[in-house]
Structure 1
Amino acid sequence: MDQTQNNTNPLPSMRLGDALYQVPEPGMPRRVTAKSSAVEVMTDLHRVPAATIPGGMRLDDARQAMILRGVRMLLVTNDRRVVQGLVTATDLLGEQPVKIAQHRSVAVSDLSVADIMTPIDALEAFALRDVLNAHVGDVVRALRALGRQHALVIEPCEAGEQAHIRGIFSASQIARQMGVPPFVGEVARTFAEIEAAIGA
């Protein structure tokens, strides 16, 4: 046996004196800067359950689901956990439901989430391997270039397997973690506020 290889320690260890164990920080997620690791502002679905709703849910019920969960975006899934799209608070509260209802000559109350969601094939996503090497400022610039307030993070999968959504980026969450005051409005203003805070 090669003794050199046998004595190689790929993960150095250390001995501890007194040490405290880490507890979750209360309330708001950890404060970040433009140079912080991008994963600091990613909602990691390995740690946080995904907020999902079925595509057949009525819009009023979807609004209530957002309020109860304290989120501004929900993944739209089928009964096999396959993501079909996403719906945001802007989708639900903006003009889109009225326009679609008028176009179809139906009442807004007759629409379901599937009628107004952004379908999965129209969503932008980042590869987890790239996110692990990126900074918060990179995420902000990428979202702004895409004109989106949300983007998904995809984890690699074996050949022939379905891709797995590992995480979600949200401009409003990034703003909160950077200490930007809450603002509900158009995408451009949201990113202007964030970029002013990071000096981008």
Structure 2
Amino acid sequence: MAQSKTLSLHPLPPSAGYFEPCQEFVERVHIDSPAILAMTDLRQQMAVNIEPDVSIEWALQRMKSAGVRLLFVVNPDKQLLGLITSTDIQGEKPAQFRQGLNLRHEEIMVRDIMTPYSNLEATDMSDVRQATVGDVVAMLEKVGRRHALVLDRDTDSGNMAIRGIFSASQIEKQLDRVIETVDVALTFAEVESALNS
């Protein structure tokens, strides 16, 4: 048996932090680059969670401190209940929710404006492997969203699970161009308004 080396323990230096999972994004991508280069892979970077019964102000602060614009809303057992984004919090949803309820902005809870699990959609990892960044941009622009989820089979459980997230903000940095999702969303809203009038 080879002789083992002696390991010794030392006091921690002042203000020592700890490592966290970190995904290094390719600094620049092109429209024809593989889509996976623009995906946040949850095997390499932890999803940031929030509980449904906290204020949207707290959720926004959590996003800022974590450097993200999307939180998974989970119950105490870490089951996914939905998603909340910075657009949800800073957009029209809070004003629409509190109409007639006599609530202050800070009294609105995450559960009140999150997108519930039943309304979530995702693309499949097998399709992402065949796609380009341009395909992802086209999808985000078409549906008028700033995020898209990616499903894959979890090899440990055999179940489908959220493997990744595409973020328009991240892709904008990598492409050095704006992704026009807001205008499309407004167009859909205008169409819906026209149909209802």
Give the TM-score category using the shorter length: 0.7 to 0.9
The whole-number CA distance in structure 2 between the counterparts of 1:39 and 1:59 is 31
Alpha carbons 1:143, 1:150 under 8 Å: kept: yes
Q: Which residue of 2 aligns with 1:179?
A: 176
Post-superposition shift, 1:33?
A: 0.3
SS at match of 1:33: coil
> Gaps spanning 5+ residues in structure 2: where?
1-21, 186-197
Cα 1:29/1:56, change in 2 over 3 Å? farther
Deviation at 1:176, TM superposition (A): 0.6
Deviations 1:96-145 (A, max 9, x none): 11220124343332221111111122122001111011100011111112
- 2:122 equivalent among 125, 134, 137: 125
With normalisation by structure 1, the TM-score equals 0.73
Give the superposition deviation at 1:178: 0.8
Counterpart position of 2:78: 81
Q: Is the 8 A contact 1:127 1:156 kept in 2?
A: no
How do 1:13-162 and structure 2 match up within 5 A? 29-156=26-153, 162=159
1:165 maps to what in 2?
162
Q: Residue 103 of structure 2 aligns to which amino acid in structure 1? A: V
SS at match of 2:130: coil
Deviation at 1:67, TM superposition (A): 0.8
Name the aligned partner's letter for residue 110 of structure 2. Answer: V
Query: Which residue of structure 2 lines up, in the alignment, with residue 20 of structure 1?
Result: none
TM-score (norm 2): 0.74
Q: Which runs of 5+ in 1 are unaligned?
A: 1-23, 191-200
Question: Is residue 2:183 matched to residue 1:188?
Answer: yes
Name the stretch that deviates more: 86-95 or 102-111.
Answer: 102-111
Contact 1:85 1:118 in 2 (8 A): yes
Amino acid at match of 2:145: R
Q: Return the offset for 1:179.
A: 1.7
Q: Is the contact made by 1:85 and 1:119 (CA closer than 8 Å) also made in structure 2?
A: yes
Q: Is the contact made by 1:123 and 1:151 (CA closer than 8 Å) also made in structure 2?
A: no
Alpha-carbon separation, structure 2, partners of 1:49 and 1:25: 9
Q: Measure the CA separation in 2 of the matches of 1:25 and 1:168.
A: 12
The 1:29/1:67 distance shift into structure 2, 3 A limit, reads farther
Shift, 1:189, TM fit = 8.0
Cα distance, 1:129–1:103 mapped onto 2, change above 3 Å: farther
